[in-house]
Chains A and B, each alone.
Chain A
């Protein structure tokens, strides 16, 4: 319970803090921004990339996407994956093209099928990563055939071998 006297003190503190707060800009504190972005999901991360040039530069950094890719996986990393993924187009592309549709497709089936989700997830994650990497590799190979890989723009999902992932699930 706040006494009237305390309220007065709090008000005073608030007024002086307000001035300080007006001068606070998140863009001056990149470490805080990165901490926050680290905890976002893929969709929010992409949205964050639309805010301003600085945010875009950070939100598009592959390290953040690597963190996102492996955040739900156990074990956390697979040795030596980074150079392979980097060579084939980067973690952001891996997530957008393979991991996200695979996860959502499998998540949907799991929800329908019931069963213990935690156990199922742990057992399947290694295979999931391997499968996603394989599909990603085929995609990279097809892009090689289509006249050189373009610089990582994920929008052109023209790689045909992954089109089946884009189709709506016939539930």
Chain B
């Protein structure tokens, strides 16, 4: 600053106020004498910021293209606003003193520092400015969601534009940048194309994404193995067993159960599997194909096996007579990430969950497995759902970062993106991802006449062992009142529980005719 002061004292004396300052002109800058004071103040502020937070300097470097010094006036202003300093009245003339003020900092050093960072590629380390932008991004996301809830759509659209701008300043390949990208995308879908919103894929696409999600992360494996352990224990001593799977997909859960039944002491039972899934649109009968594959596997390990496929586009369309449960069979019901779909309700009709749980209870299953996402995405207010989803899926994406096999990771992210879009974009009957936390499911299932079964220590040991096989050190299995949860860094993400129907006071004979009447 001394340079300026000496310059001003000598230049002011005897010169007209709007003339170009001579000393600065000698250094290559054109400044009017009358504006020197303003310029000096801003540069002082800039200097304070730069000296106090030198890590921000690298960020400055990538915006420095100094072709014409006259552009820098607004540039210093924008610098200051980015660094969250109050911007003074924009009366600045064409000048920057940055290089002369701080001799240790010059453009050359900035460029070097910046290129070095580019080569180093440390996705986890954020510069202070990036972190700032991330915080801003989250803040604007919340504001936008709030405005969507209130119906202020023009404000929401403007905020989306702002967020797109902020996105360019953060690393959108990992961390909060990536998650924010997906949420911004979902919000824009909601605002700009409300009718065909949400990402609806074909059944075949969904199967593929599901498979890659299975490979990329332990959540589904945990669900399958825990469920199989509970089913195995419930089937102990029974010779005719019937498993009803409400979302067959590619049947990845069942080979392990078939193998475990083959090896159980006393020999394998007769196993019937009823797989429910959406109807295939492209002529393939995927349910039948899966059934054939499972039958082949069962045959090779000498387990008597029968398969039945039930195609239904909505779970509530499934009726008990379609399942053909025999009178002496031990029945196991399997709901992996499916039960929440029955919570779908529209203003015109309530949710079908009560009815479905009712007829399931009448089947008197030995065990009903419920594995659900541990989150509260079914709150009535949009902003609450949005906030919860942002936290939940940030954690999920964090855990996915540890997966290194492609294309599993990329496709798993698309799988999750579809869930996000459904929660954020859709309403009414279209919003099927109605996750509820374990506590809510407990009260709901108790109310429907089920009592909890404790998942034993075997299940816990198996789950812990499964996790140690995954190369990431962040997953944790916890026991919660007889249920198991799998989480990432102490945030539970998926909860598995087992249930049994409470016997009626006057138990029916157990015979059910095809019209679902108790005989």
B461 touches A124 (CB 8 A): yes
B465 touches A164 (CB 8 A): no
B402 touches A130 (CB 8 A): no
A124 contacts across to B, CB distance below 8 A: 461, 465
- Please provide the chain A residues from 154 to 171 with a CB less than 8 Å away from any CB of chain B in the complex: 160-161, 163-165, 167-171
B263 touches A78 (CB 8 A): yes
B252 contacts across to A, CB distance below 8 A: 138, 141-142, 161
- Tell me the number of A-to-B contacts counted with CB atoms below 8 Å: 97
A131 touches B465 (CB 8 A): yes
**CA of A55 to CA of B68, assembled, Å:** 79
Which of A20-28, A56-64, A83-91 makes up part of the contact surface? Answer: A83-91
Per a CB cutoff under 8 Å, which of A130, A138, A170 touches B462?
A: A130
Residues 98-127 of chain A: 1 if any B CB is under 8 Å from the residue's CB, otherwise 0? Answer: 000110011001000000000000001001
**CA of A32 to CA of B514, assembled, Å:** 67
With A124-B465, A127-B458, A144-B293 in contact, do A169 and B263 touch (Cβ < 8 Å)?
no
A170 touches B472 (CB 8 A): yes
Chain B interface helix/strand/loop/mixed: helix
- The residue of chain A having its C-beta at the shortest distance from the C-beta of B253 within the complex is A138
- For chain B, the bracket of interface size reads 35 or more
A134 at the interface (CB under 8 A from B): yes
B402 contacts across to A, CB distance below 8 A: 170
A133 touches B259 (CB 8 A): yes
B348 at the interface (CB under 8 A from A): no
Residue from B250, B265, B293, B468 with most neighbouring chain A CB atoms (10 Å): B468
A168 shortest CB reach to chain B, Å: 6
Q: Given contacts A141-B251, A141-B297, could you give 12 more A-B pairs where the C-beta distance is less than 8 Å?
A: A80-B262, A83-B301, A84-B301, A88-B301, A106-B465, A124-B461, A134-B225, A134-B256, A137-B297, A145-B250, A163-B408, A164-B403
Using CB atoms and an 8 Å cutoff, list the residues of chain B in contact with chain A: 211, 214-215, 218, 225, 228, 250-252, 255-256, 258-260, 262-263, 265, 293-294, 296-297, 300-302, 402-405, 408, 458, 461-462, 465-466, 468-473
Using CB atoms and an 8 Å cutoff, list the residues of chain A in contact with chain B: 78-81, 83-84, 87-88, 101-102, 105-106, 109, 124, 127-128, 130-131, 133-135, 137-138, 140-142, 144-145, 160-161, 163-165, 167-171
